[in-house]
Chains A and B, each alone.
Chain A
Amino acid sequence: MKRHNIQLNEAGELHHFLDVEGLKRELLVNILDAAESFTSVKAQQVKKVPLLRGKAIVNLFFEPSTRTRNTFELAAKRLSADTLNVNISTSATSKGETLLDMLNNLEAMHCDMFVVRHAQSGAAHFIAQHVAPHISVINAGDGSHAHPTQAMLDMFTIRRHKGAFADLKVAIVGDILHSRVARSQIHALTTLGVTEVRVIGPKTLIPDDTASLGVHIYHDIWEGLRDVDVVIMLRLQKERMSGALLPSEHEYFKLYGLSPEKLAIAKPDAIVMHPGPINRGVEISSEVADGPQSVILEQVSNGIAVRMAVMSILMGQTFGKEKGASE
């Protein structure tokens, strides 16, 4: 039995953006192309376009994240949408008002889109399954599962620097096990057809099953970085270091932190990426983070264009609407 992809409407258009996995290459390329056109908006004196005028977008954040929320909010505002930020500490919903109660409440306010971040994997799917059919849901990070807009802005950044995906070797370094960013990046890279995706880290952060995602596992970074075109460093959560997953920050940096010496193993024109915020001296040295191969800040500004693209594509899906003639 083929499962219906909840992200697509009956015409195969993107209705929710929950996960990169299961989406066709063509859809991903559409997002990248649309994002390309939105990059010109920031050159305008009035940095907004009227595309989503009158639409209401709710940022539903069950997990604190100022950075991600800001870029979504800015993207929505540049599209002239009205935005509402709802920050809910998980403890408040754990008893009493359920998540569904809260959704019903927000729907009653006539919203058009939810941007959801939640500490539990599958939360955005759950919300998408339960919202009214006209509402689109964007997953802004669910547990360890997916962070599709982050992955797409990374793809956008890679394409801007490398052109085509076909011949690229990409290394992702760090905590794959707990990283929603890494999962979405891996699905995006394999869907867009790169030559090879490598993941680099100790077994405590990269279980053997990771190979089932279509990647090659390296425990030795000196081998893993050889001849790669793109190095993606993942953020190491502090709480992972205090636990039993890793002995110390010091040893992690020694083994897996990106230093100029290690970067020299990669291709000379390799770019260095990081979803931020950076732990300097833990996963990446300042020299590399601020160096000529780093595109970390560019990722941040690309994030807005990519999110504008995703929002417009979801809101502009035409299935079930009258196909009006256009001049």
Chain B
Amino acid sequence: MNHIETEQCLAQMASELKALIQQRGMQSPLMIGIHTGGVWVAEKLYEKLQLSDPLGSLDISFYRDDFTRIGLHPEVKPSNLPITVEDRHIILVDDVLHTGRTIRAALNEIFDYGRPASISLAVLVERDGRELPIEANVVGQHVELSANQHIKLEGPERLQLVVQEDE
């Protein structure tokens, strides 16, 4: 198995995000991580950017489009958005951007909490296989994988990416 360190990626993402915040003139952006890997990535970025408002987390289980096929995820966690999203600039963070369906669900869920001013997307890894017109604003690294390969984040202390293959 092939472990990929992420420290350098995270540093680069933080600086790109800083630039994005300045460029777009975001006043005190609100960072939200998507359970579970996205929250780990968000925690690292949050620390590096030293944002003022508390970090939020989303569990998108209730918004998945495959509920009728796979049922309720047994370890569903409550979403935790400590302050209102109304009129706020949101930085949504996830570990892997693949089909885009998770981000679609997260966007829907955020809008059920209120109407944000803007949402930007930061992901640690972007891979091929998009099924929806969704792209990230900040990307840690691009990876090309074949259909039988998966990339997974291990954490939460030391974040490492692992590429796995189906038999």
Contact = CB atoms under 8 A, between A and B. Distances in A.
A37 interface: yes
A322 B71 CA distance: 11
Interface stretch (B13-21, B42-50, B98-106, B137-145): B98-106
A49 B62 contact: yes
A68 to B, nearest CB: 23
A192 B80 CA distance: 28
B113 A313 contact: no
Interface string B56-73: 000101111011111110
A40 interface: yes
Indicate the size class of the contact surface on chain B: 20 to 34
A316 B72 contact: yes
Contacts of B62: 37-38, 41, 49-51, 312
Contacts of B74: 30, 33
B78 A37 contact: yes
A46 B101 contact: no
A312 B76 CA distance: 12
B149 interface: no
A45 interface: yes
Interface string A90-102: 0000000000000
B108 A50 contact: yes
A45 B70 contact: no
A105 interface: no
A161 to B, nearest CB: 17
Given A36-B78, A43-B81, A50-B108, A312 B113 contact: no
A23 to B, nearest CB: 16
A207 B84 CA distance: 54
A48 interface: yes
Contacts of A324: 66, 69-70
A44 B78 contact: no
B101 A327 contact: yes
Contacts of B68: 315-316, 321
A89 interface: no
B156 interface: no
A51 B112 CA distance: 13
A318 interface: yes
A66 interface: no
Given A39-B78, A40-B80, A48-B112, A322 B63 contact: no
A40 B69 contact: no
Contacts of A40: 78-80
Interface string A291-327: 0000000000000000000001101111001111011
**Top 3 closest pairs, chain A to chain B, by CB:** A316-B71, A49-B62, A46-B112
Given A33-B76, A44-B112, A327-B101, 5 more contacts: A13-B71, A40-B80, A45-B113, A316-B68, A324-B70
23 contacts: A30-B74, A33-B76, A34-B72, A36-B78, A37-B61, A38-B62, A40-B79, A43-B113, A45-B86, A49-B112, A51-B62, A51-B67, A51-B72, A312-B62, A316-B68, A316-B71, A316-B72, A318-B69, A318-B70, A321-B68, A322-B69, A324-B69, A327-B102
